[in-house]
A and B are shown apart, each in its own frame.
Chain A
Amino acid sequence: MANSQPIISMYDQPMWESIRAHGWKLQQCDDCSSFRYPPAPNCPHCLSMSSTWKALSGKGKIISWVIFHKQYFDNFPTPYNSVAVQLDEGPIVISNLVGEEPQGSWIGREVEICYGEDSAIGTVPKVRLSK
């Protein structure tokens, strides 16, 4: 086994820098205002090449979740969860829910971004239930 590592294209670099600074930013299209995830050379909606890095509000909702019982990585001992979160800005991101877990269905629960330290990766954005 080995540790998991992010896949980092040249467009991902600024995003991970913002994550390390605990202020996750994504590109917002200068022409149609949509947010891009993953970071990309152009806007998939209007094909504009121009964008501005904007800090996320940090809020979103869980739209699905899974619990891993088989281990794939040294830095992810089981069991652990992965959640799909739709950010208030629009994009869906995969993350891990930390802290208290909901009883029953997780879908529709409001979450906020927080920052965790992974032994292999460094700072990684996670989510926790909104107060």
Chain B
Amino acid sequence: MTTARNLSKVGAVIGVGQSDYVSDHARVLAGDKPHDSYGYAAIAFNKALADAGIERDEIDGLIVGPTIAYERTGEILGINPRWGSQADAMLAVIEACMAIQTGMAEVVALVYGNDQRSAAIQYGGPEAMGGNMFLSYVYHAPWGFTSQGALYAMMFRRFMEVTGCTEAQLGEVAVAQRLAASLNPHALMRKTITIEQYMASRYICEPLHLFDYCLINDGGVALIIAEAGRAKKMAEKAATRKKPVLVHGVGRYDLNRGATSLEPRLLDFYRPAQEACAEQVFNMAGVEHKDIDAVQIYDSFSCHVPLALEGYGYCRSGDVGRFMQEDGISLKGKLPVNTGGGHLSETYMQGWNHQVEAVRQVRGECGARQVEDCRFVHYNSDVAGKAVSIIYGT
């Protein structure tokens, strides 16, 4: 394993913002369309700018999410950056730090907007087949197998068989995240559920139930990441400014060999990538598992959580079912996971909302769902062919 050159404490998040998921969702369900993807992105950007307490023209880097066009977003926000890019949530954070480290930019805006609910975007079926340029599993359309949910259901079925983890134990994820969402005013699904309700919910792609699937809603998220030294000076100069949240470590590893035939997922549960990521991120951050106060996991489906907990070393291999049930992954448990409710219960912003939750937990801004003395938050994801890991901290 090669060691990544150090990106530790190079960048600091100085501002976060989001659209009003709750009221926009209510309007969309009522048949209205409050904004398109660019509108949501613009709302989030303005809020992040205000949160950071900086002027728009201090921004010299722009990274735009995958659902909106880079140049058009820059035009709408009126940003001519020294350096710009298009990336998903996790890579946007890493790229911002890379741009800062190499001197290509000093204050980078990361902007995302998505009208997936009002535009009736389908994740699976005929529309997903257009994703053949990006998503290997749509190759299996002749056998009715095109949804990402089915991919993870297939993976998790085998995982249950190998480890003995049960459906009821998987249900701990949905139950824990709904509890977190019940304490989060920004969350869409705020009614708590029980394991019994989880087990009684219908299957979508068996063994995954309805409650194992993420929401589909409209919204936008933005983050502003500044060079750490400059962020510190900015915070010192204006007492009203919030304390910067440092990116302490990052990691990435992908398993492309055999991707279409699902070999790295079915035979290895994508674990070699997660282990490689864990090694990078913990080494770079110089912290250990015991230092992590909360974990955020990209959860388009609940089963990402147990797979990541084992893959990133939070419990012994084969022990995650017991770990989730006995030690607990809720705000009341030993290891709080997806403390805002995640994609299952807060909002589906393709990993962007997890970055915001991580930042707010480290800032201590989370009110009723605040993890006590939260110093380090570990984010990780396994999405469509890449594993990414980030540690945020004070």
Q: Which residues of A contact B (CB under 8 A)?
A: 1-7, 37-38, 44, 63-70, 72-73, 75-76, 80, 82, 84, 91-96, 105, 107, 118, 121, 124
From known contacts A68-B150, A72-B147, infer whether A1 and B126 are also in contact, taking CB-CB under 8 Å.
yes
- Asked whether B266 lies within 8 Å of A66 as measured between CB atoms, the reply is no
From known contacts A64-B157, A82-B154, A84-B266, infer whether A4 and B129 are also in contact, taking CB-CB under 8 Å.
yes
Residue of A3, A37, A82, A107 most packed against chain B (CB within 10 A): A82
Residue of B nearest to A68 (CB): B205
Chain A residues closer than 8 Å to B206, beta-carbon distance: 66-69
Interchain CA distance A6-B143 in the complex, whole Å: 9
Interchain CA distance A116-B300 in the complex, whole Å: 33
Is residue B233 contacting chain A, with contact meaning CB distance below 8 A?
A: no
CB distance from A118 to the nearest CB of B (A): 7
Residue of A nearest to B159 (CB): A64
Is residue B258 contacting chain A, with contact meaning CB distance below 8 A?
A: yes
Chain A residues closer than 8 Å to B146, beta-carbon distance: 4, 72
Is residue B158 contacting chain A, with contact meaning CB distance below 8 A?
A: yes
CB distance from B223 to the nearest CB of A (A): 34
- Asked whether A64 lies within 8 Å of B266 as measured between CB atoms, the reply is yes
Within 8 A of A (CB), among B1-43: none
Q: Report how many residues on chain B are interfacial, defined by Cβ distance under 8 Å.
A: 37
A-B pairs with beta carbons under 8 Å apart, 23 shown: A1-B125, A4-B146, A6-B142, A7-B132, A7-B139, A38-B261, A44-B257, A63-B158, A64-B157, A65-B154, A66-B150, A67-B205, A67-B206, A68-B150, A72-B124, A72-B128, A73-B126, A82-B143, A82-B145, A82-B154, A92-B258, A92-B266, A107-B158
From known contacts A4-B129, A69-B204, A82-B144, infer whether A38 and B139 are also in contact, taking CB-CB under 8 Å.
yes
Chain B residues closer than 8 Å to A105, beta-carbon distance: 161
Chain B residues closer than 8 Å to A37, beta-carbon distance: 260-261
Chain A residues closer than 8 Å to B388, beta-carbon distance: none
Chain B residues closer than 8 Å to A107, beta-carbon distance: 157-158, 161
Interchain CB contact (< 8 A) of B153 among A2, A66, A121: A66
Chain B residues closer than 8 Å to A38, beta-carbon distance: 139, 260-261
Interchain CA distance A94-B203 in the complex, whole Å: 20
Interchain CA distance A37-B140 in the complex, whole Å: 12
From known contacts A6-B142, A93-B261, infer whether A69 and B124 are also in contact, taking CB-CB under 8 Å.
no
- Asked whether A66 lies within 8 Å of B205 as measured between CB atoms, the reply is yes
Residue of B nearest to A67 (CB): B206
- Asked whether A96 lies within 8 Å of B262 as measured between CB atoms, the reply is no
Is residue B384 contacting chain A, with contact meaning CB distance below 8 A?
A: no
Residue of B nearest to A126 (CB): B143
- Asked whether A73 lies within 8 Å of B139 as measured between CB atoms, the reply is no
Please, what's the 1-or-0 string for B103-127, where 1 marks a CB less than 8 Å from any CB in chain A? 0000000000000000000001110
Residue of A5, A66, A91, A96 most packed against chain B (CB within 10 A): A66
Closest 9 CB pairs of A and B: A72-B125, A76-B144, A64-B158, A67-B206, A94-B140, A2-B126, A92-B261, A4-B141, A82-B145
From known contacts A37-B261, A72-B144, A72-B146, infer whether A66 and B207 are also in contact, taking CB-CB under 8 Å.
yes
Residue of A nearest to B150 (CB): A66
Chain B residues closer than 8 Å to A7, beta-carbon distance: 129, 132, 138-139, 141
Is residue B155 contacting chain A, with contact meaning CB distance below 8 A?
A: yes
Taking A66-B150, A70-B124, A82-B140 as known contacts, 20 extra A-B pairs with beta carbons closer than 8 A to each other, sorted by chain A number, are A4-B141, A5-B141, A37-B261, A64-B157, A64-B158, A66-B154, A66-B207, A68-B144, A68-B206, A72-B126, A72-B147, A73-B141, A84-B262, A92-B262, A92-B263, A92-B266, A94-B261, A105-B161, A107-B157, A107-B158
Chain B residues closer than 8 Å to A80, beta-carbon distance: 144
Interchain CA distance A96-B272 in the complex, whole Å: 29
Chain B residues closer than 8 Å to A72, beta-carbon distance: 124-126, 128, 144, 146-147
Interchain CB contact (< 8 A) of B129 among A5, A68, A96, A118: A5
Chain B residues closer than 8 Å to A73, beta-carbon distance: 125-126, 141, 144
Interchain CA distance A65-B154 in the complex, whole Å: 6
CB distance from A97 to the nearest CB of B (A): 10
CB distance from B346 to the nearest CB of A (A): 23
Interchain CA distance A107-B156 in the complex, whole Å: 13
- Asked whether A65 lies within 8 Å of B157 as measured between CB atoms, the reply is yes
Residue of A nearest to B257 (CB): A44
Chain A residues closer than 8 Å to B322, beta-carbon distance: none
Interchain CB contact (< 8 A) of A124 among B128, B138, B142: B142
Is residue B82 contacting chain A, with contact meaning CB distance below 8 A?
A: no
Interchain CA distance A76-B147 in the complex, whole Å: 13
Interchain CA distance A30-B294 in the complex, whole Å: 51
